[in-house]
Structure 1
Amino acid sequence: MRAFVVLMCFLALGCLAQRPHPCTSPPLLSGALTVATQNEKLWAYAKYLYDALGQRTRLFEMGTYQNQSFTYDVLLLYRQGVMYEIDDKNKKCTKKPLKIDFHPMEIPKDASLLGQAIVGSSSGPGQGLLVNTWMGDLPQSAGKYMSTVTEFGCIPVSTTYHTDQFGWVVTNLFDNVIGILDPQYLNPPPFCQEAEMTTDDGEEPVSFFSLFTKRH
């Protein structure tokens, strides 16, 4: 009996000691996030909808950029190569080409594990959240990123990276829910159906960060 107990303890410790692996977040997520920059030029709060299956994302934003307040509602349809800037109050819509590929929420396979930690407390059940923090190189950039996700479920918690223009950029995600309660928000509203494509040859390609800065 004692040998059986020792064996079970050994197996349990072995499972707990397994090294975390890069992971992919659930394909359907909704929640909220904040974005802030080191130089204090940008602070924004947004509700988000994320659909990796249909490659669609929507952001409902509010915040300040260079001391100017803004609100912004944007729908990104990656498969169609289209983005919609939506003014629901005035029932207006601007349609623009989306010239970037869809990138799922994930920890890339070449990321390096920085460590595992508990957010909150490990003193009692339900008092803490086990998370993994990873580091890697930004694509097409000499900079690096640092991302934290939950150990169970690979739910995004935060991402930090550096830019020459704004210094450190920190994104925190919270109130995450697996699934999308109202999928209609991932389709263009009826008043966008007649919107014609507009282009600006001098406009830089869209990125996550530009959605909070370049149009305000």
Structure 2
Amino acid sequence: MRSVLLLACLLGLSLAASLERKPHHCKSPGLLTGGFTFSTQNEKAWFYAGYEYDAWQQRIRLYETGTYNNQSFTYDVLLLYGEGVMYQIDTKASKCTKQPLQADFMPLGVPPNASLLGQYVIGSSSGPGEGLLVDTWQGKAPDGAQYMVTVTEFGCIPVSTLYQTKEYGWIVVSYINTIKGILDPSSLSPPSFCPGLDAKPEGTPVDFFTVVSNLKKIAV
């Protein structure tokens, strides 16, 4: 009985110490794999995507499936920020297009200019394993848009991001099933049937939000 009480006290002290931990600006791990849901306020679009994220070489692969106007779609893109190009990939048809990418890479985590909004527990703080300690930060991007970022207190794993845009209103991204590392590093390189890195990109330059707007074109 004494051992049970001692264990309960230690667990309680550990949880209390976690709740008293001071939030700090942080960067998410450089290599992540997982999924996320993406929804826009004005366009009423929603989709689920798998992602692979490499902050070191500024590469992101998105495997998107979802619905728009009651129609399903799939979308597979590879964003190479270091080279300034985006590949749109159709693996089944062995087709691939290369477009110029005009966006700056935005690493996951808490931006240096963000202000702490609060520290919270997702779930319950009544016992161990019942809740997740997270920090929520807010701020303004260089273009003046407001954002809100939530990350785990331990590990700085992304939980959600809210970003305000003129075109779509509030964009909400919720991250799920995140693991550290890349399961297949080759997926962050263009497939062999894609134009080579020395090939000139074609078409209108795109950024992340342009990629989102293209979802409508695919779904129509």
- What is the rounded CA distance, in whole Å, between the counterparts of 1:54 and 1:63 in structure 2? 28
- What is the rounded CA distance, in whole Å, between the counterparts of 1:149 and 1:53 in structure 2? 20
List per-residue Cα deviations over 1:157-178 (Å, max 9, x = no partner). Answer: 0011222332221110010000
Given residue 99 of structure 1, which amino acid in structure 2 is its aligned partner?
Q
CA contact (8 A) 1:65 1:213 kept: no
Structure 2 residues without counterparts, runs of 5 or longer = 1-14
CA contact (8 A) 1:22 1:108 kept: yes
Partner residue, 2:147 = 145
> Percent identity between the aligned chains?
55
- What is the rounded CA distance, in whole Å, between the counterparts of 1:32 and 1:163 in structure 2? 22
Q: Does 1:77 align with 2:80?
A: yes
Partner residue, 2:4 = none
Task: For residue 192 of structure 1, report the CA deviation from its aligned partner.
Answer: 1.0
1:45-124 mapped onto 2 (5 Å cutoff): 45-124=48-127
Partner residue, 2:207 = 206
Label 1:192 to 1:129 Cα distance change in 2 as closer, same or farther (>3 A): same
Partner residue, 2:5 = none
List per-residue Cα deviations over 1:64-121 (Å, max 9, x = no partner). Answer: 2355432110001111222110000100000111222222112111100000000011
Structure 1 residues without counterparts, runs of 5 or longer = 1-11
1:1-40 mapped onto 2 (5 Å cutoff): 17-39=20-42
CA contact (8 A) 2:160 2:172 kept: yes
Partner residue, 1:187 = 189
CA contact (8 A) 1:116 1:130 kept: yes
Label 1:15 to 1:180 Cα distance change in 2 as closer, same or farther (>3 A): closer
List per-residue Cα deviations over 1:38-57 (Å, max 9, x = no partner). Answer: 23521011000000111111
- What is the rounded CA distance, in whole Å, between the counterparts of 1:181 and 1:80 in structure 2? 23
What's the TM-score once normalised by structure 1's chain length? 0.85
Given residue 39 of structure 2, which amino acid in structure 1 is its aligned partner?
A
List per-residue Cα deviations over 1:12-37 (Å, max 9, x = no partner). Answer: 98886343111000000000000012
Secondary structure of the 1:213 match is helix
Given residue 150 of structure 1, which amino acid in structure 2 is its aligned partner?
T
What's the TM-score once normalised by structure 2's chain length? 0.83
Secondary structure of the 1:139 match is coil
Given residue 86 of structure 1, which amino acid in structure 2 is its aligned partner?
I
- What is the rounded CA distance, in whole Å, between the counterparts of 2:16 and 2:123 in structure 1? 23
Secondary structure of the 2:137 match is strand
Aligned length: 201
Given residue 135 of structure 1, which amino acid in structure 2 is its aligned partner?
Q
